Amino acid sequence: MGNFSKSPGTVLAANQTKGYVGIHIEQGVPVLDRDLNLMHDFLAAAVRSLLAKYIGDGVIGSGFLIQTLSPAANNFKINAGTALVGGIEATFPAAINYSDQAGLPPLNGSGLTARQDVVFLDVSLSEVDGSVDPDLTNSDDVGVQTSVRDKLNRVVRVAENTTAVPAPAAGHFHLALARISRPVNNTTITPSMLVDLRKQILPLLDLTQLVRVLTSYGYGFTGINTGLI
């Protein structure tokens, strides 16, 4: 945990409760870490709120598509791509197998009873200090840690014997990706077992072009500022 005069999360929540949305630093006064942190947190919280409320959770194109492996295995491939979850952008720059993710348990095959599993993306932020990243100790100049970093964590998990995505822990956000129907005594995953649960997000440029096309066919869109399209 960073050495803060007050917890940034607590300060942000208190200011939001009072209806504050910005901060201006005055001249000739002490510079407080909590004021500087609040400046950043106001902006980050506003961006995430806008994305979550007006775009929502989902993926773009084939991002995070769950696919089987060949030959069939008790494993699956996660396609490269981008998702928005809780207003946070999460990206897999390259395709990865479930089993290649560090710290996750191996998948269990089914036994004498058929079951359904749900695959979901788990997104969260964690704090990183100099004990994890030596660059933050500023050894080349001042020689002390002056700040910490927020790190994006994104991992694809599997909840077994359920069709519902588990409720996220505090600070985590979940997005459904796929459902796996496991027949009796199954130790492999085949294409027929997978159902894609991903919600698609249409990029703004594509949405604008779609509105133009539909408008040209006589469809009206109440509330859309046609000057923007």
CA-nearest of 119, 102, 123, 122 to 66 is: 119
Confidence of residue 54 (pLDDT cuts 50, 70, 90): confident
Element (H, E) at 8: helix 8-17
Entry pTM? 0.86
Give percent of the chain with pLDDT exceeding 70.
88
With 90 as the cut, is the pLDDT of residue 7 above it?
Answer: yes
Per-residue pLDDT, 226: 43
> In the prediction, which pLDDT does 190 show?
95
Indicate if 39 and 77 belong to the same structural domain: no
CB 90 within 8 A of CB 152: yes
Q: Please tell me the distance from the alpha carbon of residue 142 to that of residue 137, in angstroms, as a whole number.
A: 8
Q: Count structural domains, the chain.
A: 3
Single out the residue of 40, 41, 35 nearest to residue 6, CA to CA. 35
Q: Which domain, by its residues, includes 215?
A: 201-229
pLDDT score, position 154: 97
- Residue 191's domain is classified under what CATH number? 2.60.520
Same domain for 9 and 79? no
My answer on whether 79 and 191 are in the same domain is yes
Question: If we measure between CA atoms, which residue out of 82, 102, 68, 108 comes closest to residue 193?
Answer: 68
Res 159 pLDDT > 90: yes
| Domain shared by 9 and 90, yes or no | no
Are residues 210 and 173 part of one domain? no
Length, in residues, of the chain: 229
> What are the tens digits of pLDDT across the range 182-195?
999 999 999 999 99
- Amino acid, res. 170: A
End-of-domain residue from the set 54, 80, 95:
54
Q: Are residues 99 and 123 in the same domain?
A: yes
The reported pLDDT for the residue numbered 202 is 75
152 and 92 assigned to the same domain:
yes
**pLDDT tens digits for range 59-117:** 999 999 999 998 889 999 999 999 999 999 999 999 999 999 999 999 999 989 999 99
Is there a contact between 178 and 196 (Cβ–Cβ < 8 Å)?
A: yes
**DSSP per-residue letters across 172-203:** EEEEEEEEEEE-TT--S--GGGEEE-PPB---
Per residue in 57-75, pLDDT tens? 999 999 999 999 988 899 9
Closest CA to 205 of 57, 53, 60: 60
Mean pLDDT of all residues belonging to the chain: 91
Structure confidence at residue 207 as a pLDDT band (50, 70, 90): low
Q: Are 49 and 42 in contact (CB under 8 A)?
A: no
118 and 163 fall within a common domain: yes
For β-strands 58-59 and 66-67, DSSP reports them as: unpaired
Q: Is there a single domain that holds both residue 152 and residue 82?
A: yes
23 and 136 belong to one structural domain: no
Residue 86: closest CA among 18, 168, 160: 168
Residues 157 and 181 grouped into a single domain: yes
* Pair (181, 211) in one structural domain: no
Query: Span 177-186, mean pLDDT?
Result: 96
Q: Mind listing the pLDDT tens digit for each residue in 125-149?
A: 999 999 999 999 999 999 999 999 9
The phi-psi region of residue 104 (left if phi > 0; otherwise alpha if psi is between -120 and 50; otherwise beta) is beta
